[in-house]
Amino acid sequence: MTVLTRLPRFVAVAALALAAHLPAQADTWPPKTVTLLVPFPPGGSTDLIARTVGAKLQEKFGASFVVDNKAGAGGTLGAAQAKRAAPDGATIFVSSLGPFVIGPHLIKNTGYDALKDFDYITVAVQAPNVLAVPAASPHKSFADLLKFIKANPDKMSFASAGNGTSDHLTAELFWQETATKATHVPYKGGAPAMSDLIGGVVDASFMNINTGLANIKAGKLRALAVTSAKRSPLLPDVPTMEELGFKGVTVTSWQAFAAPKGLPNDIKTKLRDGIVAALNDATVKPKLLELGFEIVGNTPEQFTAFQAAEFARWKKVIETGKITAD
């Protein structure tokens, strides 16, 4: 066999080898199973969003969308695992803001670079925090609380679910923006923090609205302010921090979808469109709104810019407050 007769076969083999190493394309995505990697235990807000959206993606695309909970180190263990996955759309990272913009400033050697190791697909939902006090608190309004905290530095206690959590950092941001000082009381989780807040063991807390809503509605807690840009339809009588004169304390917790760096653009577009459709589905959207979530569904470009801004913002808060994970 001459070199010329061998050439077509060589070219065909080379082409097949090259094709095997090319990124996955949208016409072959999704594979039979897509893993939605959640860096927290089952049952929380992020797990809920992953399972809710995953079920709709499964209906739309016909593949299995399976949630895999990999908890630990404030979500950074799961983030590091997601970063190491192949960028072929078979592994999608679903997380709250913690591993994206908080954990990297609190934990050394997380195993990933939050600004460089992911392709950002969309922020799915967001929810404001609410400043709440026990029903029996003498502070009937935000003005009452602010007056007391200014006159009594470190005398008011703020509960949180732990060091570096959203409720902790929102309180820290509040103190920085209002030039006040208070005592942070970290708990090992939201449940014991809520119990002691209702019982009056601690004075106040900045909790996620969907965490505190039931106890606010039941009259066990009094809501003094929300951290959204506009009033929450779930608490229409509660003023925003912006209305009260503190625009810098506009804060939302959020859940988002990302992928290991290198996800082909056509898959990213197909996935983002599927997620947004799932969030706005007539059987999904009303339930999420009732729980206090606001639908976002922004573009990859918008999420990328938002991620960078949030990363810088919380870095400043953490460094100014000298906050550690311990």
pLDDT tens digits, one per residue of 24-56: 566 789 999 999 999 999 999 999 999 999 999
Which tens digit of pLDDT belongs to each residue from 63-82?
A: 999 999 999 999 999 999 99
- 213-245 per-residue burial string, b: 16 or more CB within 10 A, e: under 16: bebbeeebbbbbbbbbeebbebbeebebbbebe
pLDDT at 102: 96
Inter-residue contact 71 to 78 (CB < 8 Å) = yes
Q: How far apart are CA 67 and CA 47, in angstroms?
A: 8
Q: Which helix (H) or strand (E) holds 128?
A: strand 118-134
For the entire predicted model, the pTM comes to: 0.89
Query: What span, in angstroms and rounded, lies between the C-alpha atoms of 237 and 46?
Result: 28
In the chain, CATH 3.40.190.150 sits at: 11-127+254-320
Domain with CATH 3.40.190.10 in the chain: 128-249
For 303-319, how does the pLDDT look when each residue is reduced to its tens digit (9 = 90+)?
999 999 999 999 999 99
Matching CATH number, 128-249, of 3.40.50.10090, 3.10.20.90, 3.40.190.10, 3.30.390.50: 3.40.190.10
- What is the sign of the dihedral through the CA atoms of 111, 312, 121 and 74? positive
Report, as an integer, the average pLDDT of 193-214. Answer: 96
Q: Give the number of other CB atoms < 10 A from CB of residue 189.
A: 10
Q: What single letter denotes the amino acid at residue 187?
A: Y
Average pLDDT over residues 8-21: 49
pLDDT in tens, 124-139: 999 999 999 999 999 9
- CATH classification of 11-127+254-320 is 3.40.190.150, yes or no? yes
